[in-house]
Structure 1
Amino acid sequence: MLKHAQGEIGFVFIHGAGLNGQVWRKVIEGFEHPCLLVEFPLRRDSSHSRSRLSLEDYVAHMKRQVDEWETRKIIIVAHSIGGVLALRLASELADRLAGIVAVGAAIPKRRGSFLSILPIPQRLLLSVLLRTIGTKPPESALRTGLCSDLSPDQAAEIVNGFIPEAVRLYTDRIDTSVPDVPKLYVKLTDDKELRPSLQNKMIANLSPQYVRSLATGHLPMISNPAGLRSILEIFLSEAQQ
Structure 2
Amino acid sequence: MPVLPGAEPYRHEGGEVGVLLCHGFTGSPQSLRPWAEFLAGHGLTVSLPLLPGHGTRWEDMRATGWQDWYAEVDRALRELLERCERVFVLGLSMGGALALRLAAKHGRAVSGVVVVNPGIKVHGAAAYALPVLRHLVATTKGLTSDIAKEGGAEVGYDRVPLHCAHSLRNFFRLVDGELPRVNQPLLLLHSTVDHVVPPADSARILSRVSSTDVREVVLEQSYHVATLDHDAERIFEESLAFIGRLAPAVGKKGSTTGG
- Normalised to the residue count of structure 2, the TM-score between the two structures is 0.72
Cα 1:199–1:126 shift into 2, 3 Å: farther
Question: Are 2:30 and 1:27 aligned?
Answer: no
Q: Which amino acid aligns with 2:202?
A: Q
Deviating more after overlay: 226-235 vs 190-199: 190-199
Task: State how far apart, in whole Å, the 2-side matches of 1:200 and 1:193 are.
Answer: 15
Question: Are 2:98 and 1:85 aligned?
Answer: yes
Unaligned runs of 5+ in 2: 1-9, 249-259
Cα 1:84–1:130 shift into 2, 3 Å: farther
* Count of matched residue positions in the alignment of Structure 1 and Structure 2: 224
Q: Are 1:19 and 1:163, in contact at CA under 8 Å, matched by a contact in 2?
A: no
Task: State how far apart, in whole Å, the 2-side matches of 1:205 and 1:130 are.
Answer: 30
Q: Percent identity?
A: 20
Q: Are 1:55 and 1:85, in contact at CA under 8 Å, matched by a contact in 2?
A: no
Q: Are 2:74 and 2:102, in contact at CA under 8 Å, matched by a contact in 1?
A: yes
Q: Are 2:27 and 2:157, in contact at CA under 8 Å, matched by a contact in 1?
A: no
Question: Are 2:222 and 1:220 aligned?
Answer: no
- Normalised to the residue count of structure 1, the TM-score between the two structures is 0.76
Task: State how far apart, in whole Å, the 2-side matches of 1:162 and 1:73 are.
Answer: 38
The one of 190, 195, 204 aligned to 2:193:
190
Unaligned runs of 5+ in 1: 108-113
Aligned-pair CA distance for 1:98: 0.1
Q: Are 2:18 and 2:86, in contact at CA under 8 Å, matched by a contact in 1?
A: yes
How big is the alpha-carbon RMSD for the aligned residues of Structure 1 and Structure 2?
3.1
Alignment of 1:165-184 (within 5 A): 166=164, 167-172=166-171, 173-174=173-174, 176=178, 177-184=180-187
| Deviation per residue, 1:23-81 (Å, 9 max, x gap) | 11112333212211122113367655543433222222222222233224211112112
Q: Which amino acid aligns with 1:171?
A: N
Residue 43 of structure 1: aligned partner: 54
Task: State how far apart, in whole Å, the 1-side matches of 2:64 and 2:156 are.
Answer: 23
Cα 1:97–1:182 shift into 2, 3 Å: same
SS at match of 1:29: helix
Alignment of 1:1-241 (within 5 A): 1-6=10-15, 8-31=16-39, 32=42, 33-43=44-54, 47=58, 50-69=61-80, 70-107=83-120, 114-115=121-122, 118=123, 121=125, 123-124=127-128, 130=134, 132-134=136-138, 137-138=140-141, 142=143, 146-152=145-151, 154-155=152-153, 157-158=154-155, 164=161, 166=164, 167-172=166-171, 173-174=173-174, 176=178, 177-206=180-209, 209-215=214-220, 216-223=222-229, 224-240=231-247
Deviating more after overlay: 158-167 vs 71-80: 158-167
Q: Which amino acid aligns with 1:80?
A: S
Which one scores higher on RCO, CA 8 angstroms, separation ≥ 6? 2
SS at match of 2:18: strand
Residue 5 of structure 2: aligned partner: none
SS at match of 2:181: coil
